[in-house]
Amino acid sequence: MDFSFGDDQVMLRNAVRALLAHECPPEVVRAAWESDTGRTDGLWAALAEMGVVGMTAPTSVGGLGMDETDLVLLLEEAGRAALPEPLLEHTAVGIPTLAEAGGPVADAWLERAAAGEATLGAGPADGYAVGAAACDLVLLIGDQVGAVPVDGATLVEHRSIDGSRRLFEVGGDAVVLDADPALAFDRAAAAAAAQCAGVAQHLLEATVEYAAQRFQFGKPVGSYQAVKHHLADAALKIEFARPAAHHAAWCIAVGDSDRSRDVSLAKALASEAVDLAARTALQCHGAIGYTYEHDLHLWMKRGWALSAAWGDAAWHRNRIAAALGI
């Protein structure tokens, strides 16, 4: 029983954190909101250069052969930076699912996906695929996993409250992959849980910083217990969501028999954590946090979106009930 991450995992996390701190400041996220695709100019290429984009692909196709326990810290970082790039869809879901399926679709796409030359999207079959128009191949996950090449697909776009998330209904001829749809879904839900934890952590840290420097009645507002206890409650939710998210990643990596139940535990806890963090962050910022100019909303809206994506807390709580036989 060892929850600690290895030196290599921590070094990679630190490298990604440093990259995003420099290359993904709030101005870049804002620019992505205004761009054609919802994405950034160069961040995906920079992550591909580091090997992150294809890290979950087998080494035989040019990947790093890494698993969910290697990826989970990077997903948290993506959340912390509100990274508007498809790390979840492409790296956490698309590549491992294609690798699992094998066959002609994998032969056609996997190597290019591992190199970052082709981008994989993913979405629930009855939901939206984020950023599909900027992808090359989209996996639709329902009772089975269908692969739809974007070239020739019909795409119906909807706006998300998070301007970097372009929502698409995807139609077209899907090739059914020989991959477990429940596993593909769990990969997405577990990755969303890790991102939620990262978003929540940023919201908390930004609000602590603000509350320490905003003075009212001659004192920092963060010195008042009403504010402190709001923030302590948000911190509490995050403290208990993160280990569950790490455990969920491990369950996927090793094929644990309670995988689906414990992925649901992680996603429900993480959704609840980011919901509370977003609510608390706004309340503790007061009116300035309610403005479009302030950066807070970039994370708050990402939090709302990810909280609901791939099963919201209620959905996952119901799935836990079913797993418990009640």
Could you say which of 6, 25, 103, 286 contacts another protein (CB under 8 A)? 6
Could you say which of 22, 154, 229, 286 contacts another protein (CB under 8 A)? 229
DSSP 226-273: HHHHHHHHHHHHHHHHHHHHHHHHHHHHHT-TTHHHHHHHHHHHHHHH
CB of 132 to another protein, least distance (A): 33
Looking at 30-38, 84-92, 102-110, 204-212, which segment touches another protein (CB under 8 A)? 204-212
Classify 148 as helix, strand or coil: strand
Classify 289 as helix, strand or coil: helix
Q: Does 240 bind another protein (CB under 8 A)?
A: yes
Using an 8 Å Cβ cutoff, are 120 and 89 in contact?
yes
Between residues 9 and 160, which has the closer beta carbon with respect to another protein? 9
CB of 145 to another protein, least distance (A): 27
Looking at 2-10, 122-130, 133-141, 160-168, which segment touches another protein (CB under 8 A)? 2-10
Q: By CB neighbour count within 10 A (0-12 exposed, 13-18 middle, 19+ buried), where does 7 fall?
A: exposed
Contact mark string toward another protein, 57..76, x via CB under 8 A: ------------x-------
From 132, 246, 123, select the one nearest 181 (Cα to Cα).
Answer: 123
CB of 311 to another protein, least distance (A): 14
Could you say which of 108, 155, 175, 208 contacts another protein (CB under 8 A)? 208
Between residues 135 and 273, which has the closer beta carbon with respect to another protein? 273
Q: How many residues bind another protein (CB under 8 A)?
A: 47
Using an 8 Å Cβ cutoff, are 193 and 266 in contact?
yes
Q: Does 217 bind another protein (CB under 8 A)?
A: no
Q: Does 211 bind another protein (CB under 8 A)?
A: yes
DSSP 195-217: HHHHHHHHHHHHHHHHHHH-EET
CB of 272 to another protein, least distance (A): 9
Strand 175-176 versus strand 215-216 pairing type: unpaired
3-state SS of 61-117 is: HCCCCCCHHHHHHHHHHHHHCCCCCCHHHHHHHHHHHHHHHCHHHHHHHHHHHHHCC
Binding site for another protein (CB under 8 A): 1-6, 9, 69, 204, 208, 211-212, 219-220, 222-223, 225, 227-229, 231-233, 235-236, 239-244, 246-247, 250, 254, 262, 265, 268-269, 314, 317-318, 320-321, 324-326
